[in-house]
Structure formats: C-alpha cells, structure tokens
Amino acid sequence: MTESKENKAESVKAKGSRKAPVSAEMQSIISFLQKGSLLTKVRSVGRRYQRRYYVDTTSLMLAYSGSKKLNCLKTPYQSCISINHILEIHEDDASLSQKWKNVPLFTVVVGEQMKNLSLIAPTANIKDMWVRGLRFLVNKCTMEDPVKEERMWLEECFSKTDKNRDGLLDKDEVDALLKSLNVSTEVEHYMRERTKTQKLNIDDFIALYKEFSERTEVEELFDMYSDDQETMTVCELSAFFINEQHQKLTESELEDIIARCEQCPKLKAEKLISRVGFSMMFFLPEMNVKRPECRTIYHDMTQPLSHYFINSSHNTYLEGHQLYGKSSTQQYSRVLTHRCRCVELDVWDGDDDEPVIYHGYTLTSKILFKDALKAIEKQAFTKSNYPVIMSMENHCSLKQQVRMAKHLKKVFGDKLLVEPLSEDSTVLPSLEQLKGRVILKGKKLSPKTVNIDTENDSDEAAEVEDEEIRNRLKQSKKKKTKVARELSDCIVICQTTAFKSFEESGKIGSFVNISSFKENRASKLIENDGGRQFVQHNAYQLSRIYPARSRIDSSNYETVPMWMAGCQVVFRL
C-alpha cells in the first residue's frame, strides 16, 4: 500500500490516458466524420436543408456549414451541438411522414427536452458510418465525463431563459432564471449585482453558477484526510468515515465505494479515490440523509385511485409552441422517464385509414397514433410500476376508431385494462391493484348502445388569439362525434363525463367517471365555498384541470389551489 501511495501522483496524471483501444475501422470512421459530408436536414413539415456536417473532435462538437443565417442569426453555442448533449441516435424518426421510411435517414436526439435532428445521408453506407461514429463518441463522452449531466442541465436552463436567442442573458432574463433555480437570498442578490453592468454568455453563467455552488466543505474534507492532496487510500477513506460519519466500514465495503465512485481505471485498480470520485461518493444511496425506509415507496398504495395526485402532462406530443410546434413520439418517452403517469393523445383521422395525433386546427405537425402507443408501451413502466392513464380526445370517424382499438390491443396486450369491475365495486381500484396496467380515458357507451352521437371530445375553450383557429374551434364544438363500440370496450374506469353541478354529480355521479374543468372554471368553483364541495366530489371520482388555450407559450397555471381542492389530474406543460 505504501508503494502505491508513492506512485499516486503519476496515477493522477495518467487519469484518462488509459483508454480502450480503438479499432482501425472506427479510427477510419472518426476520420471520415472529421472531414464531414453533405447531409440533408429534414423537418417534420417536409422542408429539407442540405448542409455539410462534420465533427470537431477537439471541442467534441457536431457542426455544419452552408447556412446563410449561420453567422448573422445564431451564436456559436447554438450553431453546433455538443457531443455531450446527444442522448441517443435512432435510425428512423416516427414523427416524420411515411415517405421518409425507405431513405438512409437517422435521428440525433439532443438535450433534456429530447429535440430531434433528422438527417438524410447520400447512401446507406454513409448513414451507417455516421450512426456508428456518433454512437461511439457519445459512449466515449459518457464514460469519460462524470459531470456531463450537470453541464447539460445548466445549458438547458440557459437556453430556456434566453428568450431572444442572442446567446446572452440580460438583467430581466437573469431574474427569471433565478426564480427557477433553488438559490439562497444571498446568492440571488450577488448574481443580480454581477449582472447590473454586463450580460452573461453561456460560459459566464456556468462559471458564476460554479462559483456559488462549489462545495468547499467537501474540498476541505478531502484535503484533511488525503496526505498528498490528490488521492485517498482505503485507510484514509476509513478514517474519514470513522471521524466524520461515525461509521466503521470494512475494507471490502470501502473498496466497493471506490469501485463505484472512482472514474479513472488506473486509480480504481490501485484502490485509490480522487477528488472527483470523493465528490461523487456523496451521491451514493447509503450517503442519503433520508431514513432508509423513506428511500423507496413507503406510503399506503392500497387506497382508491381517486385518493392520489397523478403526475400529468397536457398535449404531451408537442415539443414547444401550442399552435405551430412539432409533434414527436419522443415527448411521450421523455415525460414517462420523468415518472409522468397521465399522458394526452388528441386523435384525428389520418391518411390511409391510420389515425394521427396533433393539436387540431393548428399548424402543429402530425404523428401516427400507433407510433405514439409504441413509444408509451416502451417506457410506461421503466421508472414506475404504477398505472399509466392515456387521456384521449377522440375526433375520429367510426372506421378509424375501430383501427384505434385494434392498435391499442395489439400494442399493449394484457396491460390494457379492459376487464369490467366487479358488480359490487363502490370505489376505484387501488394503485396496487392497477400495477402494470394501462388505462384509457374516454367516452364509454352504455352496454345496449351500438354507437352514439356525442359532443366533440375536445374539452378546450376557443380562446386563442388567432381568429381563423378560433372560428374553426367554435365550429368543431358544434359537431357530433360517434363512438365505436370497439373503442368504447377499451374504456373501463376514467369514463369521460360532462360536469354540470356538484349537486347533480352527487345524485347520478359514478366513481368510474372523470370530469374535465377549464382552469378558470375550476378556480371559480373553489372560490365559491373555499373548495369544500370540490373536495367531497374528488373523494370518490377523478377531476382533470386543463390549461386555457390562451397559454400558447406552454406556460403553467397555478396548481396549488387545485391540489388543495383534491383535484388529481393537474397539468403542468
């Protein structure tokens, strides 16, 4: 152990130098990506832009040349994509139309918001080289960069706050950013003082964040127990746990901590931990200050579904603007990996008898209904085993509704809740009983009805600023939509029912019903009697509160009053 300690300085210098050997074939592919090639960028609306894309391996950036707007409208950090920000590379894009299915197309998924960059290569061979090369570089960055996630998050925060897209944050934008970050009053005052006289670019912002978020106490602890101020041995790490944590760990337990936290293979092999590894150690589950029984689900999950708040998403398929944003199946994947349990599907008649999802009577792009179902099925239970509710707005013809029912049963199989509740049921099933199940919300036919005319399933008010869209929405509210028996049979609980009054719901309401309320109406109902009737109503059935259509910028309404009234399905865009 002593000899190893003497060589620690060399080990630190060697950190990152021991890399897995790269094959000659991969070296050739990386060289090809550095030189670049002509690729065609495809938007969901069908527009195409040919650019010369290349990879800068020094700065680890995917960049392009050929845009006339590049120098005058985009800042450097916006005109290229950091390899660190690439989440994955797909060899197709379900958000594009069918005509792109047989072309050498691949999609780069970028950032926390999972934005898609769809590119067409000249040949299948060039596409293969781009896909393999980018995947190699992404995996390489993931293994070598332990602070990748933090950098991605900070750049995402910066991008969201930079409303005018000039690559700089002014005083007002910094004020908006401070509201979204969990910072102390002292830090908030300090940052405002710093930005009074100058604007912040992305590097200034990250440096300033690091300045006030740096954990000096961790650095001091490391220096206290490390002889050479560079790495810690098993014995030194043991001394830290004994003196600071009041824990006596065995040698094997300490070696396991080093194995899980240390990033440098050579240091790990020598059972040494660096500063970075020491900092990462504090994110281990056993270092969590929560009591062990609170680190997993410890609540009572056997109560009726109406007794729980449901993490919900509105217009899930949209990436941004509510009137002309892009629709994407990746949005379903994103929200489900963030433990969302209620997603929305606005379904309309599509070409070739295939239903599509988009924000009706707007300029948003379209995705296939069946592709959205596949994305939901793939991610539904990766983060949670509790049920997923699919809130459906049905605008389809009877023929395409039958098609929808077939897709639902084919994609979800036994996961789809179709079995009727027992006749003696008086409350909704519990979360434990619904584990692993997918629930479809929509209009339900009575047992003896073949099909029935109902009001249009859209429950949003026509209050957008665009006059043409507003007129279309008003006309759509007057139309009647028939419900197909095949689709109705896929709905058991969460049966859509129009709300008229609390008195009427108390008389004829059923626990399997769910009513939707516009945010303004819900607020007025709460104001009437402090929300008492609303609380009683929500004790036995679900309520869904949707945003006003005037929120075309995807802003959120105030959710706390809705939760206090017991409303379960409360949306945050």
**Residues with catalytic function:** 314, 359
Among the residues of 91-194, which ranges form H helices?
A: 124-144, 148-161, 171-180, 185-194
How many residues are there in the chain? 573
Q: Are 152 and 138 in contact (CB under 8 A)?
A: no
Residue 285 DSSP label: G
Going by C-beta distance under 8 Å and a sequence separation of 6 or more, which residues neighbour residue 223?
229
* Cβ atoms 41, 118 nearer than 8 A: yes
Cα separation of 130 and 118, whole Å? 12
CA distance 81 to 43: 17
Q: How far is CA 330 from CA 101, 104, 304, 315, 381, in A?
A: 17, 20, 31, 13, 16
DSSP string, 528-569: HHTTHHHHHHHTTSEEEEE--TT-TT------HHHHHTT-SE
Half-sphere exposure of 137 (CA within 13 A, CB side): 29
Helix (H, G, I), strand (E, B) or coil at 39: strand
Tell me the sheet residues that pair with 216.
none
Shortest CA distance to 90 belongs to which of 134, 156, 38, 25?
134
Closest CA to 280 of 300, 291, 296, 264: 264
Q: Are 439 and 417 in contact (CB under 8 A)?
A: yes
- The token pair at 173 is 């934008």
Q: What is the 3-state secondary structure (H, E, C) of 407-469?
A: HHHHHHHHHECCCCCCCCCCCCCECCCCCCCEEEEECCCCCCCCCEEEECCCCCCCCCCCHHH
Residue closest to 49 by CA, chosen among 117, 106, 95: 117
Beta strands 388-394 and 342-348, pairing class:
parallel
Q: Provide the token pair at 166.
A: 């000039």
Structure tokens at 152: 């991605």
